Amino acid sequence: MWRWECSPGALTSTPGLAAAIEATGSDAAAVGYGIAYPFGVISVVLFVQLVPRILHTDMDKERAQYEAAADVEIRHKHKDLFYCDSMGFFSFACAIVGGMILAKIKIPLPGGASFSLGTSGGPLIAGLLLGHMNSIGRLSVSVPKNVLETMREFGLALFLLGAGTQAGAGFVEILQEQGILLFIYGAIMALVPMFVGFIVAFKVLKLSTFNSLGSICGGMTSTPALGTLIRVTETDDVASAYAATYPIALVMVVLASQFMGIYL
């Protein structure tokens, strides 16, 4: 049982942990999560920094491709829109409220369990929808880039602070009690899908390095790694690949945790 309970931590998925606890009816999953989580975070953060160096990626060329795509999108956006405020806080508030509403929606599953996007997936889906629409009629729902960058860095700092405090509490004691083998299981669960996913994206699907790494961040549901990738690539546009894969990964981790908790 301990081996599969490492998976939410290895994939840094707090909603997955909540689903595992709900499915098993105990806090045992939190032990595996607490041991696997630190390595799950660190491994993806290091991965997105090392891969461009190992592959000798032409960062300027990759950024130019993204900027060209972004220019096409900007030319198709609506003009003469009404802005509630210059800082875009109204749009931000709409995304938060919409996200929390989506987070509370529960979808019943076989066995009496239920699935929800949680506070991670709900706001992400709401942000994706508003970012795609850009406006509702003549009402703008966009947020200035500098505001997004500030809020993202602030939110990432709070996220890491909370995650570090939670994962670090009792980490040594748990590791001593359960043994190093549990940590090794978590490391395998983190490394195997990350390497396999990148190889498939980069070699088989022929995605660019930026898109491949962004997809890995989303597939591993790693928000800290996305922040690192944005700093490494010096462009926010890599977040589009993250946003495309994150919802699917989130849903699959939560469903897998619930099904394994019910049927194993």
What are the tens digits of pLDDT across the range 128-165?
788 778 788 888 888 887 888 788 778 767 766 766 66
Evaluate whether 40 touches 190 at the Cβ level (below 8 Å): yes
- Confidence band (pLDDT; 50, 70, 90) for 51? very high
pLDDT computed for residue 4 by the predictor: 45
Give yes or no for a contact between 31 and 7, defined as CB atoms under 8 angstroms apart: no
How far CA 66 is from CA of 61, 62, 228, 243, in Å, comes to: 9, 7, 18, 15
Are the C-beta atoms of 127 and 97 separated by less than 8 Å?
no
Rounded CA gap, 185 and 191, in Å?
A: 10
Higher pLDDT, 201 or 255: 201
Asked if residue 199 has pLDDT above 90, the reply is yes
User: Dihedral through CA 95, CA 99, CA 100, CA 103, nearest 10?
Assistant: 180
- Residue 50 is predicted with a pLDDT of 93
Contacts of residue 45, defined as CB under 8 A and 6 or more positions apart, other chains included, come to 222, 224, 225, 228
**Distance from C-alpha of 134 to C-alpha of 21, rounded to nearest angstrom:** 38
Give me the mean pLDDT over the 97-117 stretch: 78
Query: Which pLDDT score is estimated for 38?
Result: 75
Query: Who has greater pLDDT, 245 or 178?
Result: 245
Cβ neighbors of 258 (< 8 A, separation 6 or more) are 19, 20, 22, 23, 109, 113, 115
Beta bridge partners of 107: 115
pLDDT, position 43: 87
Gyration radius of the chain over CA positions: 19
Q: pTM of this prediction?
A: 0.64
